[in-house]
Chains A and B, each alone.
Chain A
Amino acid sequence: MKTIHVSTTINGDPAEFICTPDETLLDVLRNRLGLTGAKEGCGTGDCGACSVTVNGRLVCSCLVLGAEAQDAEISTIEGMADADTLHPLQRAFIEHAALQCGICTPGILVAAKALLEKNPDPSDEELRYWLAGNLCRCTGYDKIIRAVQAAAAEMRGA
């Protein structure tokens, strides 16, 4: 299969890769660029573990082709902290014990950040519906909701 050369921006830095036409953005991130923070839980867009943003829009990277990254701005979990300073969401997840196994955590953090950028003060209901595409099997979501709300409050105050 003929490969495609793609120039893109990932977490603010220029990046280039080649991929086959049927290769997903998730495969490219994980297998060609070494960004294994996004996880493949299903490969069908049902679990949200592979969540990233493309030009600010929250997507399942398993449902996006690598070739679609041309000239786009991609943000992944690896770009969420500012060097060694964690994002308030990341800090809140640790402090509120909002993760157990942690496999869904990168996707949920990326999704929650995307929500708070649109809506800095979501209700629990809005938050629960926004995160309904991100499956977590360990926590029952309780501590995740609390952690996102705590981070949102801190970010509104900041």
Chain B
Amino acid sequence: MALDSYQKRTFKQVGTRPNRPDGVDKVTGRAMYGADATAPGMLHAKVLRSPHAHARIVSIDTAAAEALPGVKAVVTAADFGVPEDAFLRDVQDHCMAREKALYDGHAVAAVAATTLAAAKAALKLIKVQYEVLPHVTDADEAMKPGAPVVQAGRAYENVPAGMSENVTHHCEFGHGDLDAGFAKADHIIERHFKTAATHQGYIEPNACLASVTSDGKAELWVCTQGQFFYRTLCAAILGMEASQLRVTASEIGGGFGGKTMVYMEPVALALSRKAGRPVKLVLTRDEVFRATGPTVSSSMDVKIGMTKDGRITAGQAVLRYSGGAFPNTTVDMGAQAAFAAYDLDAVRTFGWNVMTNRPKESAYRAPGAPLSIYGVESVVDELCQHFGLDPLKVRLLNAATEGTKSSYGPTFPAIGLKATLEAALAHPHYSAPLGTNQGRGVSCGFWFNFGGNTCVSLSVNTDGTVGVTEGNPDIGGSRASISLMAAEELGIPYEKIRTIVADTSSLGYNDVTDGSRVTFAVGLATIKAARDAIRKMCSRAAKIWGIDEEAVEWVDGAAVPAGPNAGKFPPMTLAEIAAVSAETGGPISGHYEVNADGAGVSFGVHLCDIEVDPETGASKVLRYTVFQDAGKAVHPSYVEGQMQGGAVQGIGWALNEEYIYGADGKLQNPGFLDYRIPVSSDLPMIDTVILEIPNPGHPYGVRGVGETGIVPPLAATANAVSRAVGVRMTELPMSPPKLLKALEAKG
């Protein structure tokens, strides 16, 4: 085990709840988000979008638009090259349609003008001649032979011959003898599930300000989860060198995975380059729904066998995910995660990705996992009902634990699932009485968590304060957590530290804020950067004292002689060492770079009580409790916030949220009135119980907590509704009309 792995310790600051450093800016309206920046001579841009779900672009005539007073640039796909790399080509084609418009809302041209009004007027003057093609928006339909082909020749080699060209990817995971496993079961249940595509629903529409100068230098201000990845993509698409494109992440108004991918940033840069002026491009909510984000939709078959005393003998899932008009492999994660909570002798998952005429999917909090786990946890619940068994005890009986060979391959190290299940079982929520039309649902959830490329710089200022420079946009209070870990390691107060998020020219590459990686990986790099600075400060003290630097150690924010043989010197604090740094060798800073592994998987268990109104089919969440293993909660308030926010997004997914397509292939509900995310009056308080089973791969035991919280609510909610109404619900969302129909069918 590496020297930097977890060591038990007593924390002084980690685990406290100080105020976040960006708090005052955010409560006074001063924080600068994507749409809040301006630049001298700035133009305003608008994007023209396809009104058709699928159409060949025969011609685009921009002459009249270009002639409109105030219009400074118009771009189409003709202004971009054709990248050789398939991934990059897809990214670019998603930003600007080339040859074909692949979904309702696909960008086909863009305008920059001196006013927004002129840009809007110019859009109306662009003449696009379309040849409308047959379309398909449903994954099951798209898999059928003879379905309209979204893109030809895109299937990966792992797809068997003879399938619809829309099927681009196949995967398979698992171990053991399924037939033997099912033969041991006393009862087998197989169910078909279907879930609609949903949107991350961030409240801040995507926005950027691009400025390209005639000498080839460029600035991009953008709300993003990853300024470095945006730079990589934009530079490649625009044919620029990375060093010449500086990307600055604005404050970000929500992302949840949806702001890990460029949508219109390369277009804004292309417009700026063509016009020779800064260009601001802000999407409308309608555009956000039609052309950014969504998740995959799913169509799934789950089959599980169980003995009468609750032991699962075999599990199988076939997953058909569709992430829109481009190939993707999100189904891999769904197939890997589906049975992760269980210790099984026989388990197999099969995944398929299918293209449809819908926008290109983006990550959404634990991408792929909520769907497959919804299917599995629903069937487990139904088996528990069949045998009259307690659903939490059955999960405990079958729970994965340290040493379990996971359903996707690796053997688990120390994990917190059993402790989390036991906490749920012991909680008063689980034994509280239920009334008429009420049901209680249970579900486990799982996420892999991620580490990744990370780089942190830490500067010790001569007044005894410390600056931490990290490269990951703060979407939920991470600057506070990073400051806490730096304070803990250095032994100075939290208030003496300020953590900032660097632009792409100020720090080495950092992976996107995703995979629940920031508190884990940036935290790890911050601790190691602090240790680097501590080594240097010890060396400076040694120099002042005239002793070997090995004879100095760091205790409670000060250098001290390491034992009686080192000599008798009073401790030198960080501030004292920093104050004389100019005389002892110059500025003091610490650095650390890593491609971090050891992120440590995360498990959660949710309890959900629901009352269904039999007259309307409306579901009301009465009580909700989240149990989750955080490894070590660095700032417990923000850990709770992740658990609560994830749970409520999952509740929305389960009860109301869906992309609704008309027969014409157009999105019917591209607005918050018709795409209904949970509002405050829909919900009770969301109780949280944080478990702390240390992650062996982090110095403080930290596990990422951001994503697991959205995984269990789909099944927890569906199981609660199904038990409340006595009908097994197998389609999401369980919106009132659908639930009412199920109630009427039951009679």
Q: Chain A interface (Cβ within 8 Å of chain B)?
A: 1, 20, 30, 35-44, 46-47, 49, 76-78, 80-81, 86, 90-91, 93-97, 99-106, 109, 125, 127-129, 131-146
Contact = CB atoms under 8 A, between A and B. Distances in A.
Interface stretch (B14-22, B55-63, B67-75, B324-332): B14-22
Contact of B476 (A41, A80, A101): A101
Nearest to A104: B203
26 contacts: A37-B28, A39-B203, A42-B672, A44-B285, A47-B203, A77-B27, A90-B24, A93-B23, A93-B27, A96-B637, A97-B17, A97-B20, A97-B477, A97-B638, A100-B254, A101-B204, A101-B476, A102-B22, A102-B27, A103-B202, A105-B27, A128-B683, A131-B680, A141-B678, A144-B680, A145-B680
Contacts of B649: 137, 140
A20 B644 contact: no
A140 B683 contact: yes
Nearest to B671: A44
B506 interface: no
Contact of B475 (A100, A133, A144): A100
Contacts of B28: 37, 77-78, 80-81, 86, 90
A94 B686 contact: no
Contacts of A37: 28-30
B637 to A, nearest CB: 4
Given A47-B672, A143-B641, A137 B254 contact: yes
Contacts of B638: 97, 100
A102 B644 contact: no
B251 to A, nearest CB: 7
Contacts of A76: 29
Given A77-B29, A135-B677, A137-B202, A44 B645 contact: no
A109 B30 CA distance: 14
A124 to B, nearest CB: 8
Interface string B256-268: 1000000000000
Interface string B695-738: 00000000000000000000000000000000000000000000
Given A78-B28, A102-B22, A105-B27, A42 B644 contact: no
B680 A39 contact: no
Nearest to B649: A137
B680 A132 contact: yes
Interface string B262-278: 00000000000000000
Given A100-B645, A102-B26, A42 B254 contact: no
Contacts of B26: 99, 102, 105
A128 B681 CA distance: 5
Contacts of B32: 36
The 5 nearest A-B residue pairs measured at CB: A37-B29, A103-B253, A102-B26, A140-B648, A97-B637
Given A138-B645, A141-B683, A94 B29 contact: no
B204 to A, nearest CB: 4
Contacts, number: 181
What DSSP secondary structure best describes chain B's contact surface?
Answer: loop
Interface residues of B, number: 56
Nearest to A93: B27
A38 B31 CA distance: 11
Contacts of A127: 680
Nearest to A146: B685
A94 B19 contact: yes
Contacts of A36: 29, 32, 35-36
Nearest to A127: B680
Contacts of B24: 86, 90, 94
Interface in B1-60: 17, 19-20, 22-24, 26-33, 35-36
Contacts of A138: 254, 475-476, 641, 645
B547 interface: no
B673 A46 contact: yes
Contact of A100 (B19, B200, B285, B476): B476
A2 B20 CA distance: 46
A31 to B, nearest CB: 9
Contacts of A43: 284-285
A105 B251 CA distance: 13
Nearest to B646: A140
B647 interface: yes
Query: Of A41, A47, A101, A105, which is in contact with the most chain B CB atoms at under 10 Å from its CB?
Result: A101
Contacts of A132: 679-682
Contacts of B694: none
A94 B27 contact: yes
A114 to B, nearest CB: 15
Nearest to A46: B672
A1 B117 CA distance: 10
A139 B641 contact: yes
A90 B679 CA distance: 21
B590 interface: no
A65 B36 CA distance: 20
Contacts of B201: 137
B474 to A, nearest CB: 9
B114 to A, nearest CB: 13
B252 interface: yes
Given A77-B27, A94-B23, 8 more contacts: A39-B204, A41-B253, A47-B285, A94-B27, A99-B27, A106-B27, A106-B29, A129-B680
A100 B29 contact: no
A15 to B, nearest CB: 16
B438 to A, nearest CB: 19
B416 interface: no
B205 interface: yes
B637 A143 contact: yes
Nearest to A102: B26
A125 B282 CA distance: 36
B651 to A, nearest CB: 8
Contacts of B640: 97, 142-143
Contacts of A136: 203, 680
A86 to B, nearest CB: 7
A125 B683 CA distance: 10
Nearest to B639: A97
A102 B251 contact: yes
A103 B649 CA distance: 17
